[in-house]
Amino acid sequence: MTGKFEDSCVISGAFRSRSGRKLSVDPWELSVEAALGAIADAGLEVEAIDGLSTYPGPVGSTPGITAGGTQDMKAMLGLKTRWHTGGMEMPGQLGAVINAMMAVHAGLAEHVLCFRTVWEASAQRQVGSRAKALDDSAMLERTQWTSPYGVGYPNYGALLMQRYFAQTGATREQFGTLASVQRDNSLLNPHGQFDMPLTVEDYLAARMISDPLCLLDCDMPIDGSVAFVVSRADSNAIDAARAVRIEAVGSSLGYEECAAMMWSRTALRPRDIGAAQLYDGWSILTALWLEGLGLCEPGQGGRFIGDRARISRDGELPINTDGGQLSAGRMHGFGQLYEACVQVRGEAGERQVPGGRKPQVVSVGAADFTSCMLVA
Partner 1 sequence: MQRPRPHVSDRTRAYWESGADGRLRLARCQACGHYQHPPAPVCPSCRGRELAFEPVSGRGTVWSYTVNRYQWKEGMPPPYVIAEVELAEQPGLKILTNIVDCEPEAVTLGMAVTVRFDEVDGAYVPVFRP
Interface residues toward partner 1, by CB under 8 A: 129, 131, 135, 140-141, 143-152, 154-155, 158-163, 166, 207-213
* Smallest gap from residue 143 Cβ to partner 1 (A): 7
- Please name the residue ranges forming H helices in 128-217: 130-136, 140-143, 153-168, 172-186, 200-205
Q: Which is nearer to partner 1, 1 or 208 (CB)?
A: 208
Q: Which is nearer to partner 1, 75 or 140 (CB)?
A: 140
Q: Which of 205, 142, 196, 195 is nearest to 172 (CA)?
A: 205
Q: Which is nearer to partner 1, 24 or 144 (CB)?
A: 144
Please give the helix or strand (H or E) that residue 51 lies within, else none.
Answer: strand 51-54
Q: Which is nearer to partner 1, 3 or 148 (CB)?
A: 148
As a whole number of angstroms, the distance between CA 184 and CA 33 comes to: 27
Q: How many CB atoms lie within 10 A of CB 239?
A: 12
Q: Which of 19, 67, 11 is nearest to 39 (CA)?
A: 11
* Smallest gap from residue 158 Cβ to partner 1 (A): 4
Q: Which is nearer to partner 1, 71 or 147 (CB)?
A: 147
Cβ contact 366:235 at 8 Å: no
Cβ contact 70:57 at 8 Å: yes
Q: What are the CA-CA distances from residue 336 to residues 93, 126, 280, 370 (Å)? A: 11, 27, 9, 13
* Smallest gap from residue 63 Cβ to partner 1 (A): 16
* Smallest gap from residue 173 Cβ to partner 1 (A): 19
Output DSSP code: residue 312. S
What Rg value do the Cα atoms of the chain yield, rounded? 19
Cβ contact 153:131 at 8 Å: yes
- Please name the residue ranges forming H helices in 46-119: 70-77, 95-105
* Smallest gap from residue 267 Cβ to partner 1 (A): 36
Q: Which is nearer to partner 1, 120 or 339 (CB)?
A: 120
* Smallest gap from residue 27 Cβ to partner 1 (A): 25
- Please name the residue ranges forming H helices in 190-266: 200-205, 255-263
Q: Which is nearer to partner 1, 141 or 314 (CB)?
A: 141
* Smallest gap from residue 219 Cβ to partner 1 (A): 16
* Smallest gap from residue 131 Cβ to partner 1 (A): 4
Q: Which is nearer to partner 1, 149 or 271 (CB)?
A: 149
